[in-house]
Structure 1
Amino acid sequence: MDKQKLVLVGGGGHCRAVLAQIKQLGKFEVVGVIDERDSIGLDLPVLGRDRDLDRIYDSGVHLALVTVGSTGDNANRQRLCRLVTEKGFSLPVIVSATAMVDETVTIGAGTVIMAGSIVNVNTVIGINSIVNSGAIIEHDCRIGDHCHIAPGACLSGGVQVGDLGFIGAGSTIIQNIKVGKEATIGAGSVVIEDVPDNSVVAGNPARIIRYKF
């Protein structure tokens, strides 16, 4: 079967990590990267800037994947996702060959499930999200659009994360907690209470540090 042509949107460390997973799957031909820099340290051509997406689509490449990472703010990933879909691109789902994802899990377009992660039964993950290396999402969780579950984070059963939520590396969220839209959980936090929209929390137990507005 012919491989599907795919353009990556955004270079950098996360792009390199995602590319490694894509290569293992053997389903896609990555034709290059869209980035604001001329060189990104990858053995892939930089095909242009955001403004060049129309040209790339017209050349016959109709799949795009947002490969910009995030460190607490997912707004740029949301912007890029909207841009590529408005240009007509479809967004594939990438699930690492070493991830464990139950067959009942629903995964939205453009979401990436990275190496060694576990996503358990009846969980729903929205579009353009990242479940990063070694993260655990237990049964019946609901993860919104444009979220990032960072490496080693553990979400117990029934956790809900609102759109653009960021769950920091190594953090733990106990069962049935609700994390609000655009909330950020600091690395290593232990979350035992619901987290409001637009808040930044950290610590053990996690406490509100500030709001984003």
Structure 2
Amino acid sequence: MAIAQFVYRGLMVLVVALVPATVLAQMDHGQHEMAAPAQPTQMDHSQHEMAAPGQPAQMDHGQHGDGEHKDHGMILDREGMVMNHNPDRLPGGCGEVSEDVSLDVRVGTKYARTGLTFGYSQHEWRVKPCSRVTVTFINEDQVRHQWMVHGLPKYLYPQGMFHLEVNGGFQKTAAFIVPSDDETLLVHCDISHHMEQGLKGQVVVGGGGPDMPGIPGLYAPRFPDSYD
């Protein structure tokens, strides 16, 4: 009887020893997984985070079938961009539009003055206070250029800016209404080094304010280069 029990226990030990350890591990893990409560996946959390308020792109809401995007005063398409187009909202102190002014502004290397790379066809524009200025910006180069006005009332123009940006070979038209006060407004191209290479001007409203330094053909730079 004792011999039989010994043989039986020996066979059991032998069987256990022959079972692969991986099988035993899987059996143990399977038991734990069956007993564990269901856990939410990380993917669900990431999806909720992506849908959080403020995350959806503004571009989706302003997209039009023709590829043009309009949002927050911006008009964007393959030809360029307009920001803060304003043909009708009057600045403080303006009872009405005093006059309508149309400007054709061309830009390109052909208008560059000696020693510069680029130029506008004109670098100074004079208008009456409260004028509505409609600008057609024509890019004769094959690189992107801008015609930006700074110093406008911020309650009408975010960051006090009116902005035309045109890709090479295209043109854009938009309007803005100047203030009721005598002021001189900076015009320039904000693309890197384009202002330093000639794309700078000014809009003089009424009697104007201090002239902008460094306007090609009009005023010397504040800190001229020295070649001595």
Higher relative contact order (CA 8 A, sep 6+): 2
- Relative to its length, the structure with more helix (as a share) is 2
The structure number with the bigger radius of gyration is 2
Calculate the TM-score normalised by the size of structure 2. Answer: 0.22
Calculate the TM-score normalised by the size of structure 1. Answer: 0.23
